[in-house]
Amino acid sequence: MTKYKEILRLNSLGINNTQIASSCECSRTTVVNVLQKAKESSISWRNASDMSEKELSKLLFDAEAGKTAYKMPDYEYVHREMAKSGVTLTLLWLEYCDKCRDAGEIPYKSTQFNKYYSDYVNKTKATMHIHRKPGEIMEVDWAGQTAEIIDTDTGEIINAYVFVAALPYSGYAYVEAFLSQNQESFITAHVNTYNFFGGVTRILVPDNLKTGVEKVSRSETIINKTYQEMAEHYGTAVIPARVRAPKDKSTVEGTVGIISTWIPAAIRNQQFLSLRELNLAIREKLQIFNNKSFQKKDGSRAILFADEKPFLLPLPPRAFELAAWKIATVQYNYHISVDNQNYSVPFEYIKQKVDVRVTKNVIEVFFDGNRICSHPRLYGRSGQYSTLESHMPPDHKKYVQWNGETVQKLGG
């Protein structure tokens, strides 16, 4: 199903259509079509955020119009002209529009014009210079080389996995060691990275790890639900590196190689008795790495990052809280069970399957993509109940209202 809400959300962040298509696992044509329909219907992300996907789809596509025949540009000519000094795609698009109007033909919009040119370049193996924009992309990966910790009880050597994040524009990096490459470590690493950078890039490019990406094929990429939720919290877009396309993550892979020399190798003769000791040593080496002068140009990663930082998106008021998702069935007593504790749900949903988002402090219940209730999370003895009167059927409400105080009044 097309993610109409996510398309509008990413568009509101200024993400271009090609990147939105990659993040939402759909064609770029679909993205263009959805945005055009939203514009015609005066629907923005702000007024669509509270809608369900079905409601939004109905508003956008109740009146489908016929397809329009557009004039396909001559991209062989476009590519030759792009090699000339001072010629840009915008200039060539304007010239193409003029020719179409003179011939009574309909031109593509600039976004489609640019997308088809990109397709032409990829298909013909032509090469283009990649312009890095400050604050646009953050690339992440796990380093191939591990660090080591000594277990103080057994003397056993424990492997620690090194997470690396890099900003392509400045090369500025963040590094942290974890005892696992599981999802909790992966998400925590991102949260700590954003805090370290003091801001958020508009695009997040991970390698195709199962902790972030559930499925990758030529036709689709499915982002892990928790990873996608984290991206929405920080206002960024997840666009995974394409399979067998190392250029998509060349900066972070290059940084990983350097980090593997600078940090794990540089501290190989040191002994660490805890993860905290290891990460303190890593932070010292990281500071040296980021402030080290470039060999082939002036400045350092830290100096370039000082210029890049103003372009980062601001951090949200609170850090992302890792959540687990579960599926539950609403029982006849209009409660669901989560970790042996019971939480009420509006009685209208009895026998329905619902999605449950579980955090350290809150239980949230969703049906068909819409949140229907939430509860503070219960701890302690099993079998406790959190019940809201508003969730009860009318006859149950009458029973609850017939409380001890009422009985006393009647007796008095």
Q: How far is CA 167 from CA 174, 182, 255, 338, 394, in A?
A: 9, 23, 10, 40, 57
Comparison of pLDDT for 246 and 159, the residue scoring more: 159
CB 194 within 8 A of CB 201: no
Q: What value does the mean pLDDT take over residues 120-124?
A: 67
| The pLDDT of residue 364 | 93
Confidence of residue 3 (pLDDT cuts 50, 70, 90): confident
> Hey, where are the domains in the chain?
4-61, 75-123, 137-311, 324-401
> Which secondary structure element, helix H or strand E, spans residue 358, and what is its range?
strand 353-358
Residue 102 phi/psi, 5-degree rounding, is -65, -35
Q: How far is CA 398 from CA 335, 401, 402, 405, in A?
A: 19, 5, 6, 14
| The pLDDT of residue 205 | 85
List, in sequence order, every residue forming a beta bridge with 148; answer none if it has no partner: 159
CA 239 – CA 232 distance, rounded (Å) = 13
| The pLDDT of residue 63 | 42
| The pLDDT of residue 246 | 47
Least confident segment among 162-176, 225-239, 242-256, 297-311: 242-256
- 358: closest CA among 326, 331, 387? 326
Least confident segment among 94-98, 127-131, 198-202, 354-358: 127-131
Global pTM reads: 0.59
| The pLDDT of residue 219 | 42
> Is the predicted pLDDT of residue 210 greater than 80, yes or no?
no
Comparison of pLDDT for 282 and 91, the residue scoring more: 282
Architecture of domain 137-311: 2-Layer Sandwich (3.30)
Q: What value does the mean pLDDT take over residues 139-152?
A: 85
Q: What value does the mean pLDDT take over residues 171-190?
A: 91
| The pLDDT of residue 257 | 63
Contacting residues for 346 by C-beta, under 8 A, at least 6 apart:
334, 372, 373, 390, 391
CB 200 within 8 A of CB 194: yes
> Is the predicted pLDDT of residue 404 greater than 50, yes or no?
no
> Is the predicted pLDDT of residue 1 greater than 70, yes or no?
no
Q: What value does the mean pLDDT take over residues 383-404?
A: 79
Q: How far is CA 103 from CA 75, 97, 117, in A?
A: 18, 10, 22
Least confident segment among 24-28, 132-136, 182-186, 206-210: 206-210
- Residue for token digits 């003895």? 381
Q: How far is CA 237 from CA 7, 222, 226, in A?
A: 10, 13, 13
Confidence of residue 334 (pLDDT cuts 50, 70, 90): very high
Q: Tell me: the pLDDT tens digits for 215-224?
A: 444 444 456 7
Q: What percent of the chain has pLDDT over 70?
A: 80
- 70: closest CA among 96, 43, 39? 96
Per this entry, what is the length of the chain?
Answer: 412
